[in-house]
Amino acid sequence: MRSEAGLREDICFWAESLFARGLTGGASGNMSARTEDGGLLVTPTGASFGRLDPARLSRFDAAGSFVSGDKPTKEMPLHAAFYDTRKSAGAVVHLHSTHSVALSMLPDSACDNLLPPLTAYSIMRLGKVQLLPFFVPGDPAMGDAVRGLAGKRSAVVLANHGPVVAAKDLEAAVYAMEELEETAKLALILRGAGAVALTEGQIAQVVTKFDVEWD
């Protein structure tokens, strides 16, 4: 596991990368990562991903108590729910990325698996993506909704709000988030075009070969 100093730098690096590529804008989005001692480093509330300061990241101890840094994101209940229900989670990323949000607003989107099976990579990196209902930002009920999934989903999309992804480390979480957004973009581009998605048999092959959670 990365040292805390290295992890602070990693958070700022990946946040700036997401910001520079237009995957989050203004002061939107938040991310967190597990530290060596079982605590968390979290992006502060109202902070732009384009100019985070490693020294000012919010720090929580292993008991979940805020101990230093700027005031943390108001979405802490959302992050905590993923860490509590998915013991393999080492990082959580939440964005307001355009295509994922747009897909969440369409009336015929599937709640139990928002993304159509267009590519093997979305299945490999995300498994099934749960669509959750709308919650007012910062509402602890968002965390309750994630807990209600009992750890069965590594990625969700909050309707009219944005995607949230948990993974083993920060790099994996960012890559999975990028895959989610690009697949949502594909789904919107191809909507109504009669695109040929993966068959059930092809999905099963991917799930088996890469040991994907798919229930």
Catalytic residues: 121
Q: Are 39 and 61 in contact (CB under 8 A)?
A: yes
Distance spanning both ends of the chain, measured CA to CA:
30
157: β partners: 131, 163
Tokens of 93: 């990323």
Per-residue burial over 108-143, b if 16 or more Cβ lie within 10 Å, else e, is ebeeebbbbbbbbebbbbbbbbbbbeebeeeeeebb
Q: Where are the alpha helices (DSSP H) in the chain?
A: 4-20, 76-85, 98-104, 120-126, 141-147, 170-189, 200-209
What are the backbone angles phi and psi of residue 109, rounded to the nearest 5°? -70, 140
Spatial distance between the Cα atoms of 62 and 52, rounded to a whole number of angstroms: 23
User: 78: exposed, middle or buried (C-beta count within 10 Å: 0-12, 13-18, 19+)?
Assistant: buried
